[in-house]
Structure 1
Amino acid sequence: MRGLIHRFQSLPLRSRLALLVATAVAVAVAAVAVTCWLLTRTQLPSELDTSLENTSAPPSTVQNALNNCTSGIPPESTNGSGFAYIQVILPDGTRCVAPDSEPVKVRAEDLAVANGTEHTSLHDSTTDSGTEVRVFTQRESLRPGAPIAVSVARPLTEINSALNRLALLLTAVAGVGVVGAGAAGLWVARAGLRPVDGLTRAVEHVARTEDLTVRIPVEGEDEIARLSRSFNSMTAALASSRDRQSQLIADAGHELRTPLTSLRTNVELLARSEDTGRAIPPDDRKALMASVKAQMTELASLIGDLQELSRPDAADPGPLQVVALHDIVESALERARLRGPELTITADLRSWYVRAEPAALERALVNVLDNAVKFSPPGGAVEVALSERGELTVRDHGPGIPADELPYVFERFWRSPSARALPGSGLGLSIVARTIHQTGGEVALRHAAGGGTVAAIRIPGAPTPPPPPPPPPETL
């Protein structure tokens, strides 16, 4: 059995479908044929019995049979060519066979009718030549006081021949049906799997050429159409991902080139000073070393941002836990004040608890505050507020962002033309948007009344922390 299952599973899908269709039709046809034959075998004897019960022997035929008995003509001399075999049975068991009838053996049932014990009898018997017959015997009286039994018999070969012909016909029809079902199953399998063949060719083409622009025509709303749509969506997503990856690499190379070039220039100046023995003035050397340090810091920050953005969007950001957003904002404010000591940074924070990864969330908030510090004028102010409804706003009084540039501020490596001279890689706000979206929140930038920019962050949460989970039950 396992061998048959393994052999069936090793067949191509088209062959399996055709075989299953042919088998199903064969079983159905066989069941119908057998049922039809059984019903016919049950119905034909019933019809024969009804026909015998409705057939009455003509009085002349009965009288001729009695005359044969009285004249001494042996019943074996009849040829049995009539429609039914008719014979008269006397109470002593004597049978008188009618002309053109074949003598039928007398049974006990016939004698019971002849002796008056039974009125009629319906049973099987055989002729003297061995032919099986169905016999109907009933009492009749040709003259008063002389009752007799008259038997009417018909051969059972009529039923057997009809059943045999029906069996041959049903077998032939079943065979034709199975062959037709196999052909139809093969055609259905080919027609049904034609879209799958197209999908297979498309997948093989993508695997061979890495061409993600291939699309499969979609027709209808069936499962094959859904599979085709899913394949088209998958290739489109892969193509978009590859384009974003290529763009990330190109942008990263471009952004890395600037600090690396500056760093290389400074290092070459230091190396040339050592090679030629011409000392660099102390003030210039100090400025040169400060520039090297700043370029290395910028390079390290850029590499960290690239590592953060290199993770897939669907990757697990880390274990989420309930954290106090106001505490994380306070921690980010301390770092922001160190980076902008000449600025006035005020905060009005209300309690708000969210579910997030603490380190990633703090880094995102630091990026928002750094952005506000970087674009604030000297001696300016940065206003931070966390409302009772959980909306965090960071407002600076800088030059603001032009309206036509607002849709691009969260894209990777995008930098306003007016900000290209300032330090930064253009990845900070992209990291902010990614982190906030992973927590289920929203972030947006908008113009502030009176000038400047407002960064608004909204993360789902509550003003009070949720109750701790109950301790696990103690085990003995």
Structure 2
Amino acid sequence: MLTAAAVAFAVAVVSVICWFLVQGKLYEEIDSKLSGQIFNQTVSPTTLRNNLSDCRAPEMPGNFGEQTSPYYAQLVQSDGTTCVRSGAGTIKVTAADRALAKSRSGRFDKYRDGTDSRGRAVRVVTAHVLLDPGTPYPDIVQMVAYPLADTQKTLNELALLLLGVSGAGVLGAGAAGLWIARAGLKPVDELTEAVEHVARTEDLTVRIPVEGEDEIARLSRSFNSMTAALGDSRDRQAQLIADAGHELRTPLTSLRTNVELLARSEETGRPIPPDDRRALMASVKAQMTELAALIGDLQELSRSEATHPAESLGVVALHDIAAAALGRARLRGPELTFTADLRPWYVQAEPAALERAVINVLDNAVKFSPPAGAVEVALRGGRLTVRDHGPGIPADDLPHVFERFWRSSSARSLPGSGLGLSIVARTVQQSGGDIALTPAPGGGTEAVIRIPGAATPPPDSPPSHEA
């Protein structure tokens, strides 16, 4: 409709302009013909008086022109008396014509539209009759006219032609606009149907065919990317729930069994031997600790996935975070020997998440270190290394160490949820870095974290505090 309206407006403007231009051109030609029919040369007063004396009425023209001429020609005195020079008919005299006869101005009147005695449209020009000395004859003017029937017929035919062409153009533009709109909006209809299908069925496998490089194609690609990302997120969520349920089942089963043993002992009145009771209570406490750790890791993992890192990034002194994490690791492994070489390095990261990641790496080193073992920590040029002297990680297990809930066979007997390294990897990646675990020379494991940054803080960053 907008296309048809725009074309209709444009065609209407062009048609009106064209019609007026043709009308002006036709009238210009008629005016040129009329100027050739008036007295362009002076006449003698005697000739003029003789012709006036022969005029008795408009139906009795003088002998100044041919009877078959299409032109109207007549002489008009100031009192309205008319002398017809041509047999085409009589022109209606107006007050302006009589006023011109009295004025003796010697000028031409304006070309105008008029009518003859029968009411037919004519083009009229009125002018003074000039005598031999070049002065206007007193109280008399000449009027010449040309019939406009043919001209009006031509203009009417042109108007009909323009109207027909305009109507055809508007209809054609409307049909073309409708076809283009339907063709152009077809991908939008497909996108709408896909969105409605997803909203109705929650089926995120729907994909829209993409053709071309226009805005609709970009929108379709964005929709496909969005549904793919949502599908992956839902799959990861489902997998996380399934893995969490699996991991929670074991400690909950063990905890339930121990609690039932204690409850049955109370109900039956058969006391459990003190050593067994202490072992049961220690097992319950360990299972509760493991559940609390697992729930905390799940909360941390869900928070890191839901929060956009760009919203909380800031300049962080990695050496300060590593020093603080090292202090906590010493408390957890007082029998271990810790060596540290931490050089200044500033990165863009979320402080709390990055500290949690470094603590997790150090906790793994403490967990797998032998009694009275050593843990070596170094930070040089943005490369943070944590090396332990434990049993190491088998080569077959290295590709899986950053998977959620995965634990090697040697670590299943140790406390932990299997989410620590997964959280570390996600945090480091959100900061633009990477992490790798490799066997260390001489035994043990070396964790290497690389995060881009600088040895000096930016000018606008807050000062750091060395630990």
Same fold (TM over 0.5): yes
Letter in 1 for 2:261: L
Separation (CA, whole Å) in 1 of partners of 2:56 and 2:408: 132
Instruction: Name the CA distance, whole Å, in 1 between partners of 2:291 and 2:441.
Output: 36
Q: Which residue of 1 aligns with 2:33?
A: 51
Consecutive unaligned residues of structure 1, counting only runs of 5 or more, are 1-18, 58-64, 471-476
Distance 1:354 1:128, change over 3 A: same
Give 1:455 deviation, angstroms: 1.7
Cα deviation, residue 251, structure 1: 0.5
Give the superposition deviation at 1:97. Answer: 3.7
1:193 to 174, 185, 209: 185
Residues 102, 66 of structure 1: alpha-carbon distance in 2 compared, 3 angstrom cutoff:
farther
Deviation at 1:302, TM superposition (A): 0.4
Residues 350 and 99 of structure 1, relative CA distance in 2, 3 Å threshold: closer
Distance in 2 separating the partners of 1:109 and 1:469: 96
Q: Given the superposition, is the C-alpha separation of residues 176 and 323 from structure 1 closer, same or farther in structure 2, using an over 3 Å criterion?
A: closer
Q: What one-letter code is carried by the residue in structure 2 that aligns with 1:254?
A: H
Identify if the C-alpha distance between structure 1 residues 49 and 399 changes in structure 2 by more than 3 Å, giving closer, same or farther: farther
User: What is the aligned partner in structure 1 of residue 357 from structure 2?
Assistant: 364
CA apart distance, 1:304: 0.5
The 1:31/1:417 distance shift into structure 2, 3 A limit, reads: farther
Asked if 1:76 corresponds to 2:59, the answer is yes
**Match for residue 219 of structure 1?**
211
Distance 1:410-1:326 versus aligned 2 partners, 3 A rule:
same
Query: What is the count of residue pairs matched by the alignment?
Result: 445
**Inter-partner Cα distance in structure 1 for 2:22 and 2:302:** 78
Aligned partner of residue 313 in structure 1, secondary structure: helix
Aligned partner letter, 2:333: G
8 A Cα contact 1:386 1:392, kept in partner: yes
Please give the residue correspondences for 1:13-412 in structure 2 after superposition, counting only pairs within 5 Å. Answer: 19-53=1-35, 74-77=57-60, 82-87=69-74, 97-98=84-85, 100-104=87-91, 107=97, 118=106, 123-124=111-112, 126-135=115-124, 152-311=144-303, 313-316=305-308, 319-320=312-313, 322-387=315-380, 389-403=381-395, 405-412=397-404
Task: Give the secondary structure class of the aligned counterpart of 1:394.
Answer: strand
Q: 1:190 to 1:159 in 2, by over 3 A?
A: same
Checking the alignment, whether the CA contact within 8 Å between 1:89 and 1:110 is kept in structure 2 is: no
| Aligned partners of 2:347 and 2:452 also within 8 Å | yes
**Once the two structures are superposed, what CA deviation does each residue of 1:304-358 show, in whole Å capped at 9, x if it has no partner?**
1111112362415685555443232222223222333333221111233445444
Comparing 194-203 with 397-406, greater Cα deviation is found at 397-406
Asked if the contact 1:345/1:383 (under 8 Å) is kept, the reply is: yes
The offset of 1:141, in angstroms, is: 11
Segment drifting more, 193-202 vs 227-236:
193-202
Mapped to 2, the partners of 1:298 and 1:185 lie a distance apart of 68
Q: Which runs of 5+ in 2 are unaligned?
A: 40-47, 463-467
After TM superposition, the structure 1 stretch with the greater mean CA deviation from structure 2, 160-169 or 233-242, is: 160-169
Q: Secondary structure at the match of 1:311?
A: helix
Whether the aligned pair in 2 keeps the contact of 1:87 and 1:150 (CA below 8 Å) is yes
Identity across matched positions, percent: 67
Q: What CA RMSD, in Å, does the superposition of the two structures yield over aligned residues?
A: 4.1
CA-to-aligned-CA distance 1:274-329 (integer Å, 9 cap, x gap): 34444333333323322221121111100111111123624156855554432322
- Cα 1:110/1:159, change in 2 over 3 Å: farther
Q: 1:129 to 1:91 in 2, by over 3 A?
A: same
Q: Is the 8 A contact 2:55 2:83 kept in 1?
A: no
What's the offset of the Cα at 1:119?
Answer: 8.4
Change (3 A) 1:448 1:76: farther
Distance 2:365 2:308 in 1: 29
Structure 1 residue 369, shift from structure 2 partner: 0.6
Structure 2 CA distance for aligned equivalents of residues 230 and 396 of structure 1:
46
Q: 1:298 to 1:37 in 2, by over 3 A?
A: same
Deviates more, 1:268-277 or 1:249-258: 268-277
Cα distance between partner residues in 2 of 1:465 and 1:70 = 118
Counterparts in 2 of 1:77 and 1:375: CA distance versus 1, 3 Å: farther
Matched, 1:433 2:425: yes
Secondary structure class of the residue paired with 1:346: strand
For residues 54 and 460 of structure 2, the distance between their equivalents in structure 1, rounded to whole angstroms, comes to: 120
CA 1:182 to 1:467, structure 2 compared with 1: closer, same or farther past 3 Å? Answer: closer
CA 1:66 to 1:175, structure 2 compared with 1: closer, same or farther past 3 Å?
farther
Separation of aligned partners in 2, 1:315 and 1:306:
14
CA distance in 1, matches of 2:198, 2:28: 71
**Which has the larger displacement, 448-457 or 291-300?**
448-457
How many Å apart are 1:430 and its aligned residue? 1.1
Equivalent residue in structure 1 for 2:406, among 404, 414, 420? 414
Instruction: Quote how far apart the aligned CAs of 1:453 are.
Output: 2.6
What is the distance in 2 between the residues matched to 1:99 and 1:46?
A: 22
CA pair 281-80 structure 1, distance change in 2 beyond 3 A: farther
Return closer, same or farther for 1:130/1:319 CA change in 2, 3 Å cut-off. closer
